[in-house]
Amino acid sequence: MAADKVEMTNIIGPVLRIRLGRNERYPVVRFVEKTDRSAVTLSIDESMDATTVIEAAIKALDSESAIEAVNVEGIGAFEIDSVDEKSQGRIAGRVMIVTGAAQGFGLGIAQDLAKEGACVVLGDINIGEAEKQAEALLREHGPNRAMAVAMNVTDLASIQSAISETVKAFGGFDGFISNAGVVKAESVKTQPAKDFDFITSVNYRGYFLCTQAASQILALQHKACSNYSSDIIQINSKSGLVGSNRNGAYAGSKFGGIGLTQSFALELIEDGIKVNSICPGNFFDGPLWSDPDNGLFAQYLDSGKIPGAKTVEDVKRAYESKVPMGRGCTTPDVMKAIYYLIEQKYETGQALPVSGGQVMLN
């Protein structure tokens, strides 16, 4: 679509979706070039700004009782599915975007969100694997419950494109979980600057770019309905709360992420957007830690981070012994924190530890 068409779609879809929602459940508002449905006409022109478009859309909706579609001359049509009142779950009727969702923590988060009633958008640079996982969720939960989008969190245009695809498919979204992250552990004495830059680009700059792009749509939805609120949640790390020996680039990017969270929270609350971080302990069973070639256990063994360790299992046992609860963090542990932050309307700018007692706030 042309740039102005994309811009108008990104305004009209979210406004229709939020204005037609009920009890924090929202219809699927799907963009199509043409529709055979009975449609309300929305007249706009290129001179109209976002505020004027919102006002026109609200007026068009208020003039009809039951709306199947909205036709916008020169743009296309928006087909509107009725609000699903029957689906069950803690976030039924909402749309959630998860970055880094093709595997590991991100995939586990997406799967649980779908189980709890959400329509889930799996964003990942590995679009092939993301599509495979989205198809599995569709088979399990039914139509409109999942989709995959190609997303490189270090590239603003890629993020914006993924968000536009989400708006075309669903009309908008209600939560953005910034999970994508990388780590390359090495001593500050030897780590190449390119590795430091890569980690910082994904973990720190990527979170900034994702929030910048996601907040545009979320703020529009709040403008369309002042009672509407939404969430941006960064999956940070316990390393964002306490330094990490021979892993300074990663810890630094995560410390910085918490600074961004606090700053974003102060600014975006006027748009009804809550911004929080979750700081999990080590997810020992996931590929980040357990991949036999590039996982952190293998990296830490090679870098000599654990004195006397001769095998990957030695490194794992050493890390488990540091956790008062004696085990690594799991996806269910993180999901409880995610649902808490979504459901708690009076919390923003927080860094919530989920570390089995390994890191405690002062």
> What residues are labeled active site?
250
The secondary structure element, H or E, covering residue 195 is helix 193-200
**b vs e for 124-141, b when ≥16 Cβ sit within 10 Å of the residue's Cβ?**
bbbbebbbebbeebbeeb
Number of residues in the chain: 362
Q: What is the DSSP letter of 81?
A: P
Instruction: Report the 10 Å Cβ neighbour count for 303.
Output: 17
Both tokens of 111, joined, read 């799967």
Strands (E) located in 126-229? 146-150, 175-178
| Residue owning tokens 């003039």 | 63
> Which residue, 318, 288, 31, is CA-closest to 168?
31
Structure tokens at 303: 């870098």
Q: What phi and psi values does residue 19 have, to the nearest 5 degrees?
A: -65, -25
CA atoms of 196 and 188, how far apart (whole Å) = 9
Sign of the torsion angle spanned by Cα atoms 48, 50, 53, 55: negative
Distance separating alpha carbons of residues 79 and 63, to the nearest angstrom: 17
Q: Which tokens in the block code for residue 218?
A: 């979320």
d(CA 13, CA 78): 7
How far apart CA 352 and CA 296 sit, in angstroms, is 23
The structure tokens listed for 206 are 């990527």
Separation of alpha carbons 196 and 194, rounded Å: 5
